[in-house]
Amino acid sequence: MLKNIAILGSTGSIGKSTLEVIALNEKILKVFCISANKNFTLLANQINIFKPKYAYIEHKIHTESLKKLIEHDKTIILDSEDNLLEILSSDELNIVVSSMSGSSGLKSTYHALASKKIVLLANKESMVMAGKLMSKFINNIIPIDSEHNSIFQVIQGSTHHIEKISLTASGGPFRNYPYNEFSKITKEMALKHPNWVMGEKITIDSATMMNKCLEIIEAHYLFELPKEKIDVIIHPESIIHSLVEYSDGSTLCQLSEPDMKIPISYALGYPERLTSGRAPINLTSIGKLTFQKPDYKKFPSLRYAYQTLEYIENQETLAIMLNAANEIAVDLFLQNRINFLDIYKIIESSFEKTENLPMDNINDIFNVDFLYRKKLNEYIKKSVLID
């Protein structure tokens, strides 16, 4: 059966990889809808190649420029977010790939799940901010972050007898960088990831290891595991993407090259496997795989995850504040308005600013996020900005 696919964030690294996989499997996968934030040039190129039924660009200022670049009349350009959400409810649609960066993906991701679509989730911020609400639809979520997808492949839907899961981390560009030099880290240095090609936000998250912080919280909700059963291990080669330890002493893992097309192809074809365009790894050419414990002094971000999960049952808004603080801090760092260590400073300050607020529905989550961002921006303006 042909599967109709919507890709939210088609011009990002995950979106582009998804389109590459679809092109290799066009007999069973079809692009139904694509959306982008503001890269209208690339979006137009994707529309011209894949001819989706619908397309949407979030920044309306680019709508007319987008239309001028389209070379056919097979694609309807949606003119509002409400129209996009309506398409995500369409009976014609089978799968939604949620690959937007940051909290902006929450509304459409939640709407797709509420509309009973299968969601391939790369937008970890959605699960961090709204984990309890998203968990209601857990059977319709297939994670495509390499670590969570690896666990998903290993456990095959059953978390019985799991003693611990370990998310692997490359350690980013500063794994061996001296801590006393962290204040000198520049944006250009932080954007040079040793293994993965990703967007700017997630690349900075990898440099601070905030990506692992968010992934620990996401794993808590995805696999219904307490914080005591979630660990992080540094694995510089990025070949093993996670490990699952069982009560009988067995440890199972999934190995592959560090290429997002592999977990994406698995999720798009599930429960079958599709062509990803990547060959299997050659372990003899790799030679060795190494592992080490993370350095919590250099990367306190890992501690933030466990701190959040420790209190999240009674203080649900903690994860929203954590995510908001990280997004704001990363954006300021990319603008060269704060230094690298200020990212941690802003996030640590956020734990003191949370309140016990209602979290009963998706609108409550957006309201809390708005309130917290306002608080954080006021603090940063007074205490952190270097300009």
CATH of domain 152-250+287-383: 1.10.1740.10
Helix (H), strand (E) at residue 118: strand 118-121
- Domain ranges for the chain: 3-143, 152-250+287-383
Buried (b) or exposed (e) across 104-116, using 16+ Cβ within 10 A?
Answer: bbbbbbbbbbbbe
Which is higher by pLDDT, 323 or 104? 323
The backbone torsions φ and ψ at residue 96, rounded to the nearest 5 degrees and listed phi first, read -115, 125
Per-residue pLDDT tens digits for 140-191:
999 999 999 999 999 988 889 999 999 999 999 999 999 999 999 999 999 9
According to the model, what pLDDT value does residue 103 have? 79
Cβ atoms within 10 Å, residue 148: 26
252: which DSSP letter? E
DSSP notation for 20-71: HHHHHTTTTEEEEEEEESS-HHHHHHHHHHH--SEEEESSGGGHHHHHHH--
- The C-alpha angle 149, 329, 236, rounded to 5 degrees, equals 40
pLDDT at position 387 is: 58
Q: What is the DSSP letter of 182?
A: G
pLDDT for res 386? 62
pLDDT digits (tens, 9 = 90+) for 318-345: 999 999 999 999 999 999 999 999 999 9
CATH 3.60.15.10 for domain 3-143, yes or no, is: no
Percent of the chain with pLDDT strictly greater than 70 = 99
Q: What is the tens place of the pLDDT at every residue in 187-241?
A: 999 998 887 778 899 899 999 999 999 999 999 999 999 999 999 999 999 999 9
Q: What average pLDDT score do residues 71-84 get? A: 96
The pLDDT of residue 104 is 80
102: number of CA atoms within 13 Å, CB side? 16
List C-alpha distances in Å: 193 to 10, 189, 197, 203, 216. 22, 9, 7, 7, 20
